[in-house]
Amino acid sequence: MGGRGSASGISDKGRKYGTEYSTLLRSGNIKFIKYDLKKSATSPYETRPNNHRIYVTINNKNEPKYITMYKNDGRRLAQVDISGRAHYQDGKKYETPHIHVGYEHQGSYVRGLNFWEKGLLSKIRTIWYNKGKDK
């Protein structure tokens, strides 16, 4: 997985596809990942699987930072910022969690979470914080 070169197999910096992220946990079409190249969490722009994959990027505090959803062609559809500082776009302040709809994070359409997205966030938190516990 990885957005920088997922179509060609090699990123623009010469890294082989799949070397930027480690998979920490899988649950259905949800994959929990960690960015391996820097301390700050970064979500993939693209993915190879041809399905509606959802990635959850885990930060260095071992907490979910982003939920990133992809279209069938592997391109990013939207990203939910789960944690972090509020930021401004078009003069409006957006507290977390909020969603960026579109391929690019900057300049994308930003809004609060709808009912389905709130349910997805709740499901992801439940999966992540209950991992390893017997059911």
Supply the DSSP string of 51-69, one letter for each residue: S--EEEEE-TTSSEEEEEE
**Quick one: pLDDT at residue 52?**
67
**Quick one: pLDDT at residue 127?**
96
Residue 68 lies in a domain: yes
Judged by average pLDDT, the poorest of 2-11, 37-46, 53-62 is 2-11
Residue 11 lies in a domain: no
Domain that holds residue 59: 21-129
For 27, the token pair is 């649950």
Residue 10 lies in a domain: no
**Quick one: pLDDT at residue 129?**
94
**Quick one: pLDDT at residue 53?**
82
Q: Find the helix or strand (DSSP H, E) in which 76 lies.
A: strand 76-81
Residue 111 lies in a domain: yes
Residue 8 confidence (pLDDT) above 90: no
Residue 93 confidence (pLDDT) above 80: yes
How does residue 3 score in pLDDT terms, banded at 50, 70 and 90? Answer: very low
How does residue 68 score in pLDDT terms, banded at 50, 70 and 90? Answer: very high
Residue 48 lies in a domain: yes
**Quick one: pLDDT at residue 11?**
59
Residue 5 confidence (pLDDT) above 60: no
Residue 72 lies in a domain: yes
Give the C-alpha separation, 130 to 2, whole Å: 26
Give the C-alpha separation, 6 to 41, whole Å: 18
**Quick one: pLDDT at residue 104?**
65
Residue 31 lies in a domain: yes
Give me the number of domains the chain comprises.
1
64 cis-preceded (ω within 30 degrees of 0): no
- The answer to whether 77 touches 50, Cβ cutoff 8 Å, is no
- Terminus-to-terminus CA distance in the chain, angstroms? 30
Give the C-alpha separation, 115 to 135, whole Å: 27
How does residue 73 score in pLDDT terms, banded at 50, 70 and 90? Answer: confident
Residue 94 lies in a domain: yes
- Per DSSP, helices labelled H in 66-130 are 115-129
Of the ranges 29-38, 102-111, 123-132, the best mean pLDDT one: 123-132
Residues pairing with 101 in the sheet:
78, 109
